[in-house]
Amino acid sequence: MMWTLLVTPFTEFAFMQRALAGALMLSLSACPVGVFLTLRRMSLTGDAMAHAILPGAAAGFLIFGLEIWPMTLGGLIAGALVALGAGAVARLTVQHEDASMAAFYLISLSVGVVMVSLRGSSVDLMHVLFGTVLALDDAALLLIGLVLAVTALAFCVLWRALVAECLDPLFLRSVSGWGTVVHFAFLGLVVLNLVAGFQALGTLLSVGLMILPAAAARFWTQSVLPMVALAVGIGALSSASGLLLSYHLSLPSGPAITLSAGAAYLLSVIFAPRGLLVPRLPRRSHRTA
């Protein structure tokens, strides 16, 4: 019975195998990026960037239809422009980066929805906004795999600088001239992983697999490397359980994955060592005779 519920869907159906492979690769790639977003208190920046890629993806859709590479390239260009524009406004004016990022992403989201609506149907709009993880093809899996490889290489090269910037960005800038470079390189990784998740989870939900497992992992440990490993594990488990819920209950696959990650987050909030319940439990005092 348990085998039929948990394993059979992935052994009998090729579309479930592709969906699981894509979601697991996204977990390996996006969840570590989400950990650094949460540590840098930039979680909402990730959400803003997820909306910012929409106009570029919509432009690719208008010209080429639902083709992955044009939409991916358009999303990368749009995300990079928004990140650079918001950063420039924050550094050259009195406005803080969170406000400029919010302004840019609201404009981008509105422009993207209008662009998709000009040519596509409501079905196309839903595909762009919420993704189709059960329809991943070889091109989509190749894209996700490439982004995973680039992300892994970037973390190997930039790991110490990223950790230092999370702990004390002013110190990194004072001892090295690479602070700004590391910051924008990290934003580039955010955009890359959001674009990779775009085909599977859509522009509105691709950030969910990035942020929710990372936010959940932070309740269990304070060390960065264990936090990354735990976030990847939570992301992988959420992906598999979300796909199973989608298969057995006929739910939309992207929202089901995000809801599974949300459930892991809520359980961590309540039961984790750094959550609501455990720190408030009475502790036994050890008395010596």
Question: Reduced to 3 states, what is the DSSP secondary structure of residue 252?
Answer: coil
Q: Identify whether the C-beta of residue 61 lies closer than 8 Å to the C-beta of residue 120.
A: yes
Per-residue tens of pLDDT for the chain, all 289 residues: 677 778 888 888 888 899 899 999 999 999 999 999 898 887 777 777 777 788 888 888 778 777 778 888 888 888 888 878 877 787 778 777 777 777 887 888 788 878 877 766 666 666 666 677 777 888 888 989 999 999 999 999 989 888 887 776 666 666 666 777 888 888 889 888 988 887 777 766 788 889 999 999 999 998 999 999 999 999 999 999 999 998 888 888 888 899 999 999 999 999 988 888 877 777 665 555 4
The alpha-helical segments, DSSP class H, found in the chain are: 2-6, 8-12, 14-39, 43-52, 54-64, 68-92, 97-119, 122-130, 138-167, 169-175, 179-205, 208-217, 224-249, 253-271
Integer Cα distance of 12 and 111 in angstroms: 41
Integer Cα distance of 179 and 175 in angstroms: 9
Q: Identify whether the C-beta of residue 60 lies closer than 8 Å to the C-beta of residue 74.
A: yes
Q: Which domains does the chain have, with CATH numbers?
A: 2-272 (1.10.3470.10)
Tokens 């795999």, located at residue:
145
Here the tokens at position 180 are: 């700004």
Q: How many CA atoms lie within 13 A of 40 on its CB side?
A: 26
Q: How far is CA 131 from CA 75, 216, 274, 276, in A?
A: 14, 24, 34, 34
Per-residue pLDDT of 203-218, as tens digits, reads 667 888 899 999 999 9
Judge residue 17's burial from the number of C-beta atoms within 10 Å of its C-beta, 0-12 exposed, 13-18 middle, 19 or more buried: middle
